[in-house]
Structure 1
Amino acid sequence: MRIEQQLQTTPRTPVYVAWERFVHGEDDLDGVRPEVAISWQRSRDVYRIDPFLSEAPNAVSPTMSSLDQDVVFAELGFCAAAMAHEVASAGGVVTIADANGRIVAAWGDKNTRSVATEGGLAPWYSWSESAVGTNSMGTALETRRAVMIKQSEHWLQAFHSWSCGAIAVREVVNGEPLAVLNISCWGGDLPLSARKWLESSATHTQKSLRRRAHDGGNELLAAYSHARGRSNEPMVAVDTAGAVVIADDIASVILGVPGNTPAIDPVVRWTPQLPPFIHAARYATKRANVDPGWTGSTQIFTPLVDEPSSIGIRPVFLQKNLIGHLISFGAFAGEHFPQAETGGVLLGHSRRVVALREENRMVMLATSEVTMAEMEGNEVWLLTDEGRLRAALSGLDKLEHDLSDTGTFLRVHRQYLVNLSRIREVERKEKGELVLIMDDAAKTVVPVSRRNNRAVRRALNI
């Protein structure tokens, strides 16, 4: 059946009626799920995707492959092949796409795949949100949970006869997507087992990545120990996202992290309380991924001195895969780059935090309007100048990562992220524990964990 014939069967559901209004410029999203409404907003106002495209565009070029990505493709390939028979019997297609939404493999019913290919649901076509708007693969790359997109929720009208579900597999260290696994069924609903199967496949694959990241942590620790024997400069080993694996006594004071305390497991690594340092490490990651022989240095301001301090950066590899860096204070190496090149100085001024209202509206908040963020179950709630709102992002770690370059947000507890500029009072308990009192009308009280006590004291100069 051709795409034009499919469109004639699109039912006029409330979601389809809302889609018709929205693509023609109206903003009434009544009855549309928040995650879909947010994606529609991006599709129309940010990416400006034509909703009447008849097929997905060809992918421009393949993504540079990493060892982690190869592992993910192999793991997901086994999962997809195992599921192919069940999906085929339901008139469906299973696909795997890379981090840019480019489909690299497809399995399923031959007839359904023929229909799918007409719309570009096949290898070498791009399904990122920036290419085709709201769809399970592209939208899953924008979030950290399984995404189910049913018929008229797709941005492209040509896919209103499809129901799809997808989940992204992400790097353990920096949270960036590596690949996305997807199920698409034409003319009906997804199998009841679809979400559970997607989540199980992603969890299985993430375990493999976590083992590799743990091996990387051990290698960073070994490289640090070897380098410390040949240098007297303050030194720290960080992963590719800038999180600390181990720091000596002096470097730990500069960064506000525990000294000589290894954090091999990527889940428990320390976050430096010095945003310019994090930006420099991430800039080094970008450069070293392109040029394995790269080394570099820059200058950053630290709490201990009024003058900028030099840091030298040397990347560390494991089986030709970048796993992190050794960074020495007071050292110089390779390319000298100013902090402006890392983006660390400029990004915080234009940062926005997206929140959701109950009536399916998005609220674009300036960082100064957010007092704190609190994790409740799988959701993040924001205390803002407009009241208590649910964050569009899932996971406090993701929000902390996105706001790390503002220089004003600090993780004070596993459940709380606070805006340092919105702290009104600090209370010291009998055993030395700190409690923060925020500047909102209710004077919200936020506990500080023992692990973060020292970082808070340094950030507030108390």
Structure 2
Amino acid sequence: MPGDQRLQSISRDLNRTEVYGAWERFVQGDDDVYGVRPEVAISWQRSRDQYHIDPYLSEVPNAAVSQVVHSLDQDVVFTELGFCAAAMAHEVASAGGVVTVADAGGRILTAWGDKNTRSIATAGGLAPWFCWSEGAVGTNSMGTALETRRAVMIRQSEHWCQAFHEWSCGGVAVRDVVTREPLAVLNISCWRSDLPSSARKWLESAAIHTQNSLRRRARDSGSELLAAYVHARGRSKEPLVAVDTAGAVVIADDRASVILGVPANTPAVDPAVRWTPQLPPLIHAARYATKRAHSDPSWTGSTQIFTLLSNEPSSIGIRPVFLHNTLIGHLISFGAFVGEQFPQAETGGVLLGPSRRVVALREENRMVLLKTSEVTMAEADGSEVWLLTDDGRMRAALSGLDKLENDLSDTGSFLRVHRQYLVNLSRIREVERREKGELVLVMDNPEHTMVPVSRRNIRAVRRALSI
């Protein structure tokens, strides 16, 4: 073995020993994860503290068929990923590996690859009809990919369950381009050996190819939603907005645009450029409507939400829009009452989810689970995100300020005020107005950190703070 390869092999062995030692300590309750990659450490935390998975679990559970409901988009994704998996099966088999496709619940649907490895995999539950979600077996490439936004590589003792420590795996989830919810996951696994060096590229290329198909379908749906809006606009005198299934604005008329803080009469057919309304209760209402319309296509509904233009709640009526029996979005009218009257939450939104946490990393490789109220602001530095918290400045566990903004969009507390800054509205102490109309926010931390507001966000900030 050449010298460089021998050194690389020794380095890998040392790292594996270090990771296994961290695993042994972590499963016993110690939070020391020195030497463990952040995405793995965060997954371990979920496995131990959220899902309570036995690290010595030896059998993978069967998937619950009754819980599996596939949308048309999922069927498209399964077809695309099946084609990609079949195309790469020969190369994976040559490397002694197995390639699998699983649904959004981690339920394996099909598998290809090396005959001997498949035999071992089947005996260990890495086969169709077994469930590999994190909630079922803890950290693994399929389940962890479903929890994250990028390809995940899990090497041997990085797996949560000791029974899988002889496997190295890589997985990538394909997500709905509108809701960002996972639809399926593609995975490669090798027994007692490292993954091929090209594994990550294989996975990412397959995911990109499949996402492109979904993006084309989403643009077509956006065009249909726009047509439905134009038709309804001619018959309605109320402020009207068309939103997709996640609550992002496709188009709003003059009056609705003022309420929502988005451009007026500006179509956003492509999901990548749709507008985020500066009104979290409307996003809650739209997402509630999406759940109800999925289960009952004839559903319509009304609720009341608070806007920044009045101290009194405003009524909104919601009518789902379908294309070929597939839900593509909603038409929301202000001042209208239709269908089911669903409740208004005390926060001004509807049906809020459980309390949120923001995961940060300390320098000594410890995770910190922060309440949203403990985060004063977030700042982008390239792909990294830095959080200003009650415990000081920490690096966020995830990458990209857009991702953090999306994750916190339904809390109603955070507002993007600049391409580099996301602030907690409840932590603003002062607003400084400059000579040319610029705004600067002064936060309530001991240093009174100052955050600039970009010109395009001044109106949204004024509305949010009622100034």
Q: TM-score range by the shorter chain?
A: over 0.9
Quote the offset at 1:127 in angstroms.
0.4
- 1:157-176 map, 5 Å: 157-176=162-181
Residue in 1 that maps onto 2:206: 201
Change (3 A) 1:316 1:254: same
Query: Which residue number in structure 2 is paired with residue 6 of structure 1?
Result: none
Deviation, structure 1 residue 453: 2.3
> Which secondary structure does the structure 2 equivalent of 1:360 belong to?
coil
**1:78 to partner: Cα distance:** 1.6
What are the equivalent positions in structure 2 for 1:306-455 lying under 5 Å apart? Answer: 306-340=311-345, 344=349, 347=352, 350-429=355-434, 431-455=436-460
Distance 1:348 1:411 in 2: 21
Aligned residues: 452
CA shift, 1:130, in A, is 0.3
CA RMSD of aligned residues (A): 2.1
CA shift for structure 1 position 55 = 2.4
Q: Name the structure 1 match of 2:52.
A: 48
Name the CA shift for 1:342/1:388 in 2 (closer, same or farther; >3 Å).
closer
Distance 1:12 1:75 in 2: 35
Evaluate the alpha carbon distance shift between residue 231 and residue 12 of structure 1 in structure 2; reply closer, same or farther with a 3 A threshold.
closer
Matched, 1:293 2:294: no
Give 5+ residue unaligned stretches, structure 2. Answer: 1-14
Give, in whole Å, the separation in 2 of the partners of 1:236 and 1:390.
Answer: 37
Structure 1: how far apart are the matches of 2:24 and 2:384?
30
Q: What residue in structure 1 maps to residue 40 of structure 2?
A: 36
Summarize deviations over 1:199-248 as a string: whole Å, max 9, x none.
11111211111111111111111100000101111110001111111111
Instruction: Give how far 1:351 is off.
Output: 2.4
In structure 2, the residue matched to 1:211 is 216
State the alpha-carbon separation in 2 of the partners of residues 450 and 214 from structure 1: 29
Moved more, 420-429 or 162-171: 420-429
Q: Aligned partner of 1:307: which letter?
A: E
Is the CA contact 1:280–1:342 (under 8 Å) kept in the aligned structure 2? no
Q: Residue 305 of structure 2 contacts residue 348 of structure 2 at CA under 8 Å; is this kept in 1?
A: no
Tell me by how many angstroms 1:167 deviates: 0.9
Instruction: Indicate the residue corresponding to 2:4 in structure 1.
Output: none
TM-aligned CA deviation for residue 157 of structure 1: 1.1
Structure 1 residue 110 corresponds to structure 2 residue 115? yes
Q: 2:236 aligns with which of 231, 234, 238?
A: 231
Q: Deviations over 1:179-198 (max 9, x none)?
A: 11111000110000011111
CA distance change for structure 1 residues 76 and 340 in 2, over 3 Å: closer, same or farther?
A: same
Aligned residue type for 2:402 = D
Q: Is the 8 A contact 1:279 1:342 kept in 2?
A: no
Preserved contact between residue 379 and residue 421 of structure 2 (Cα < 8 Å)? yes
Aligned to 2:30: 26
Moved more, 258-267 or 181-190: 258-267
2:177 aligned partner, one-letter code: V
Shift in Å, 1:64: 1.1
1:231-273 deviations in Å (ceiling 9; x for gaps)? 1111100011111111111111111222212112212211112
Q: Tell me the secondary structure at the aligned position of residue 381 of structure 1.
A: strand
2:102 alignment partner in structure 1: 97
1:262 aligns with 2:267: yes
Q: Distance in 1 between matches of 2:133 and 2:69?
A: 16
**Residues of 2 paired with 1:348 and 1:105: CA distance?**
33
1:59 and 2:63 are equivalent in the alignment: yes
Give 1:158 shift.
1.1
> Which region of structure 1 is more displaced relative to structure 2, 79-88 or 337-346?
337-346
Distance 2:47 2:354 in 1: 25
Counterpart of 2:121, as a letter, is A
SS at 1:350's partner residue? coil
AA matched with 2:296: D
Per the TM alignment, residue 294 of structure 1 is displaced from its structure 2 partner at its CA by 1.0
Matches within 5 A, 1:123-134: 123-134=128-139
Q: What is the CA–CA distance in structure 1 between the aligned matches of 2:259 and 2:141, rounded to whole Å?
A: 43
In structure 1, the gaps of 5 or more residues are 1-10
Distance change >3 Å, CA 48–CA 288, structure 1 → 2: same
**Identity across aligned pairs (percent)?**
82
Match of 2:75 in 1: 70
Q: 1:232 corresponds to which letter in structure 2? A: K
What is the deviation of 1:282? 0.3
Deviates more, 1:19-28 or 1:328-337: 19-28
Task: Pick closer, same or farther for the CA change 1:341–1:72 going to 2, 3 Å.
Answer: farther
1:296–1:337 contact (8 Å) kept in structure 2:
yes
Give me the whole-angstrom Cα distance separating, in 2, the residues matched to 1:367 and 1:75: 38
Amino acid paired to 1:333: V
Give, in angstroms, the shift of residue 341 of structure 1.
11
Q: Which residue identity lines up with residue 230 of structure 2 in the other structure?
A: S
Q: 1:343 to 1:34 in 2, by over 3 A?
A: farther
Describe the SS at the equivalent of 1:26. coil
CA contact (8 A) 2:103 2:109 kept: yes
Q: String of CA shifts for 1:338-363, please: whole Å, max 9, x gaps.
A: 12499946748832211111211111
Q: 1:253 aligns with which of 247, 251, 258?
A: 258
